[in-house]
Amino acid sequence: MRILKKGIQGEEVKNLQSFLKNEGFYHGKVTGNFDIITDNSVKLFQKQNKLKQDGIVGNNTYAKLKLLGFKLDGADSESLDLIEDSKIIRVIDSYSHKLIADSNPNNPSPTSFDPEKHLIVVAVRGFKLNTMGKKGENDRSIYDDAHFIVTPRGIISFEANTDPNGYRNGYGFGSKKGMAMLDTGVWFFGKGPHKNYPAFRQACPFTVIRDGNPPYKHTDYHAINWHSGGYSSTSSLGCQTNKPSDFSTIRSYIYKELETFDNPKMYLDWKDLGLRRSFPYILVNKEEIWR
């Protein structure tokens, strides 16, 4: 998106002023001129949402505004952000026939999800393939992937990690097994704990690719959760993670929107937790779809 800050003029600024006015942060006229009043209003919004109070609408502030329903609709809105959104919708369309959780040991009946009604997540492995880590390679242990959270209300995105921290070659499915990396495809997560903290847990068996010579696939309940990582480490042995501040926003947002959009309930890998709101998690490699 185009960064909005003091001195910028245009339809995007008008939309921003109107939105902040409706939310009670802006009390001036809707002029389309990012003036000192708009600057102070943005800082007030940032302060309330625990963001850096610089008066600049960049990626973090825009992501928080989008959570509340703000969209760029001005003359300059054909931005990278909106281009990515259209690609994400195409990903969901291409996998629409797979948005049904097949019957499995914990869920004997198939569970269907509707992309026009329910929350869906698209994870893109290697989203920053050429701008982070070694160019052209999918690095482990860095946040070079992305999560796109899609609802009928819109799309928000975050840096992510979809890989394990490192490598561990092995064989078989017992104590000598290799490190696991979630395979691409459509999987299903539900509201559940990770080490007693609110997170997301498997709601169906996942297929992982284990490190070995050669690498090999393994399908089961592996406790491949989606949880907070760290700032200096992605904290993953095959789980899906985000930076702590991002995951806090993601977790609270998804928990809320699963109820808002009445996402179906499924049993998780810990069936004794009972039925939990769930959602499809579509994992794709960027180089396969960004053509």
Region 247-270: mean pLDDT is: 95
> How many other C-beta atoms can be found within 10 angstroms of the C-beta atom of residue 42?
27
2-50 pLDDT per residue, tens:
678 899 888 888 889 988 988 889 988 899 999 999 999 999 999 988 8
38-95 pLDDT per residue, tens:
999 999 999 988 888 999 988 778 888 887 777 655 333 333 455 677 889 899 999 9
pLDDT of residue 225: 97
Listing DSSP states for 73-129 in one string gives -STT---HHHHHHHHHHHHHHHTGGG-EE---SS--S-EE--TTTS-EEEEEETTTT
pLDDT at 236 over 50: yes
145-167 pLDDT per residue, tens:
999 999 987 888 889 999 999 99
Closest CA to 105 of 204, 208, 248, 6: 204
Domains recognised in the chain with CATH numbers: 11-78 (1.10.101.10), 83-289 (no CATH)
pLDDT at 223 over 80: yes
Mean pLDDT rounded to a whole number for the chain: 89
> How many other C-beta atoms can be found within 10 angstroms of the C-beta atom of residue 109?
9
pLDDT of residue 82: 53
